[in-house]
Amino acid sequence: MKWLVIIFVFLSLTSTADNFLQDRQDLQRLLAERAARFNVYTESLKKRSGFFGNKTKHDMEKSNEVLMQIVNTDNKIIDVLNRFLNYKTFEKTNISYDAEKSKEKVQQMMQLTDTLTKELNRLESENKQLTSRNIKLKGWGFLSLAALVAAIYFLFRRRKLPTNN
């Protein structure tokens, strides 16, 4: 399940990057298209096909059509720019989310380190206590063994000695 989520996030990021590049190309194409249409518009404004060099109604309609095409292209450019802004906002949100996630991980690791350090100190002191107890028990064991050997020695010596009576 975890791998599926990782693969999905990776694919969405690569598709987002591809969309970002596609939007960039679209923006460049739309800007070139707008520049060309604006040139057509300026030419249409200069065009005067009426009597005595006046503009006709048809010339004005053509200029307005070209102007409407420029407005449509501008709207498309604004849409692409809004997608750019949304992508940048997504990136900033994602970066801040990653920063928060990293900060939480660091805090968890610090707590874990503190807990492990406390546990290590407790176990070291317990180990010292057990070591000293072990030394004391070994001392009592050797002392008991020596007393037992001495008692056995005196018992056998007493049995082997003839009584003078």
The amino acid sitting at 55 is K
- For the chain, the domains span 1-102, 135-165
Residue in the structure block whose two tokens are 């406390």? 118
The amino acid sitting at 78 is I
Which of 13-17, 26-30, 110-114 ranks highest by mean pLDDT? 110-114
> How far apart are alpha carbons 115 and 109 in whole angstroms?
10
> How far apart are alpha carbons 164 and 162 in whole angstroms?
6
Residue 94 makes CB contacts below 8 A (sequence gap 6+) with none
Residue 37 is encoded by which pair of tokens? 């249409």
Q: What was the pLDDT predicted at 102?
A: 81
Reported pTM? 0.41
Summarize pLDDT for 74-103 with one digit per residue, the tens: 888 888 888 877 777 777 776 777 777 788
Best CA proximity match to 79, nearest among 67, 71, 35, 14: 71
